[in-house]
Amino acid sequence: MYVQNDLVKIKSGIAGNVGHKVRLKSKQGRKQIIVREGVIENTYPSIFTVKLDVQNDIPTSERRVSYSYTDVLTKAVEVIVCEPEDSSEK
């Protein structure tokens, strides 16, 4: 059984990474995993939104996806925060 504190930790972790680039691995059924990259755009009480990187097949449209925090809790979606590039090379 899941504890309410787990959900609070997930919410605060995602809220702390708004504006950061992430890689999303979502399970779409039997042995099907979709990997996408984008930037966490907003957080809301029940969901968070990610603006996806531009795909080659759809160059002019912006794509956004939303996931609930329970998707992360139940491991239907895995959120991997990408390390920021080293900005010391100026």
Q: Which two tokens stand for residue 79?
A: 């959120």
Question: What is the predicted pLDDT for the residue at 2?
Answer: 60
Distance CA 17, CA 22 (A): 9
- CATH number of the domain located at residue range(s) 4-81 in this protein: 2.30.30.100
Reported confidence tier of residue 14, pLDDT bands at 50, 70, 90: very high
Question: What is the predicted pLDDT for the residue at 59?
Answer: 59
Domain boundaries, the chain: 4-81
Asked if residues 22 and 81 have their Cβ atoms less than 8 Å apart, the reply is: yes
Q: Which residue has the higher pLDDT, 45 or 83?
A: 45
Instruction: Name the H helices within the chain.
Output: 4-15, 69-73
Which tens digit of pLDDT belongs to each residue from 34-44?
A: 898 999 999 99
Which residues are CB-contacts of 83 (< 8 A; sequence separation ≥ 6)?
none
Please give the mean pLDDT across all residues of the chain: 84
Question: What is the predicted pLDDT for the residue at 87?
Answer: 47
